[in-house]
A and B are shown apart, each in its own frame.
Chain A
Amino acid sequence: MKELIAVEEKRFTDKVVLVTGTTSGIGRTTAAAFAREGARVVTAARREKLGESLVEEITEAGGDACFIKTDIRNPDDVDSLFNQIFERYDRLDIAFNNGGVSHPHIPTVAKTTVEEWDEVIETNARGTWLCMKHEINRMLKQGGGIIVNTSSILGFTADYGLSHYCASKHAILALTRTAALEYAPKNIRINAVCPGPIQTEILERAAKYIPNMYDMVIANTAMKRIGDTDEISGIVLWLCSDEASYMIGKEISVDGGQSI
């Protein structure tokens, strides 16, 4: 059976992988998962202490990671992030654009302030676009690469009080699809993951503002539970693996059946 077995103990050995938004939740779990499979992981996020603690965890487990403090809302920070990556590794094989924010309180469209709007759109949508721009330019030079963006099931549905978040996540799917078309001939594969209710800081913070939030979410999720971050990271790694070689411009929704 030997020649049949796809032995891929470590699918990402020596790959240089960027993960943004690594101080918590999905980004943190995914960065650790890439490191376990042999990648050299660049983690980028705003909160230095949490970012460094992940790097410690990874290196203690024998993995390879570094942290570069970055606010993807700030173009200079993003410039500096990529300069440092290219200086250090001179390449970028895979990028998981996952950095994103939401607001714990949920303003209706008419009550959303410009500050709230700008924070969410500039971080989630513009931040993703800006990172993609740097990533694609580099991947074009090296002859290919793989990008996965974090959208959401709110990238194709909507919910009360989340207009800015929904708009930003819809926009991320549009960026994913357009860029996938544009760079398919250049060997750059671009897809998205659309998580549903996952146990993250965003959800925990929302629960403080919305009474019975967990009960409500669980009630309208077919699996009757909240998902774990490693139930997303496995999908992200698969999208970045050779098994997904014919998949571009698409999203995988992982939501326990919430959006059916």
Chain B
Amino acid sequence: MNARRFDDKVVLVTGGNSGIGRATAIAFAAEGASVVIAARRENLGADVVDEITGRDGKAEFIRTDVTEPGQVEALFAAIGERYGRLNHAFNNAGTGVPLRRLANTTMEEWTAVMNTNLRGTWLCMKYEIPMIRKEGGGSIVNNSSVMGLRCNDGLSLYSASKHAILGLTRAAALEVAHRKVRVNAVCPGFVDTDMARKIFDHNPAAKDAILASVPLGRLAKPEEIAGAVLMLCSDAATFMTGKEIVIAGGQGIRP
């Protein structure tokens, strides 16, 4: 079990240059996949590719901003050209926003969050579905959040984008189930990533408050999310579609 579940598979990981995306890209490569890492920051992307190829894994970085439809189109054209196929995709690219109550949020923040988290995910799915269908099936995993099911003071826009990702996940799952394309989501809680560190740097008191709300009393490691993404793309999850796995150390159980 688990030795190499993804030999000869082509897997796309958006936002694969840091945090959860990085850990997931590395994990897929470790199990034999050819991993396409699509993200904005080139130097970080190159680091992940180096780390993977340094251990005889297969990965390449394609610089992509998922808010730019032209770049998304070019990403999938490049995948088609170089690999001729796509088997699985982890739509993970996302951005946070400063904690701000709804009445104080701005059009710029709305656009930044929605275009990256929601429109970017939708746009990638639009290209992934026909490519994965052509291979006779495969798996799409979207990165939602505990905030896709719950909300928190100051996170209205982020929550709205993550709720919407679950809506897309479920709707797409219904539409493509008979084509053997499975669409699921992961809903991480607080994960030890750059995004979390940025929040804590701005607001050190937030870390204690957040940890107090997590029954396990610690942040998740990115690898603890990556494992669920790989499982969802594996043969263990062949009857699972349109669903989310919540990995949050117990956060969100209480009212």
Contact = CB atoms under 8 A, between A and B. Distances in A.
A3 B55 contact: yes
Given A37-B1, A250-B245, A223 B231 contact: no
A253 B56 contact: no
Interface in B207-255: 215-217, 220-221, 224-225, 227-228, 230-231, 234-243, 245-250, 253-254
Contact of A11 (B1, B27, B177, B253): B1
A171 to B, nearest CB: 16
A250 B250 CA distance: 8
A156 B240 CA distance: 16
Contacts of B189: 246
B178 A246 contact: no
B3 interface: yes
A88 B234 CA distance: 36
B240 A254 contact: yes
Interface residues of B, number: 47
Interface in A32-67: 37
A247 B231 CA distance: 14
A217 interface: no
A227 B247 CA distance: 24
A57 to B, nearest CB: 19
B241 to A, nearest CB: 4
A252 B215 contact: no
A199 to B, nearest CB: 11
A184 B215 contact: yes
A249 B241 contact: no
What's the dominant secondary structure at chain A's contact region?
loop
A213 to B, nearest CB: 18
B5 to A, nearest CB: 10
Q: Chain A: interface residue count, which band? A: 35 or more
A7 to B, nearest CB: 6
A259 B178 CA distance: 15
B215 A11 contact: no
Contacts of B2: 6-9, 11
A231 to B, nearest CB: 4
Contacts of A235: 231, 236-237, 240
B126 interface: no
A10 interface: yes
B48 to A, nearest CB: 12
A2 B3 CA distance: 10
Contact of B247 (A184, A222, A247): A247
Interface stretch (A77-85, A159-167, A237-245): A237-245
A93 B173 CA distance: 36
Given A177-B253, A181-B215, A1 B55 contact: yes
A211 interface: no
Given A222-B177, A246-B247, A253 B1 contact: no
Contacts of A222: 173-174, 177-178, 241-242
16 contacts: A1-B29, A3-B55, A9-B1, A11-B2, A180-B215, A184-B217, A184-B250, A185-B217, A196-B239, A222-B174, A224-B178, A243-B231, A246-B189, A247-B246, A248-B215, A254-B239
Given A224-B177, A246-B216, A248-B216, 16 more contacts: A4-B29, A4-B30, A6-B30, A8-B1, A9-B3, A10-B1, A184-B215, A184-B250, A241-B227, A243-B227, A246-B189, A246-B225, A246-B248, A246-B249, A250-B248, A254-B237
Interface of A: 1-11, 37, 177, 180-181, 184-185, 196, 198, 222-224, 227-228, 231-232, 234-235, 237-238, 241, 243-250, 252-257, 259-260
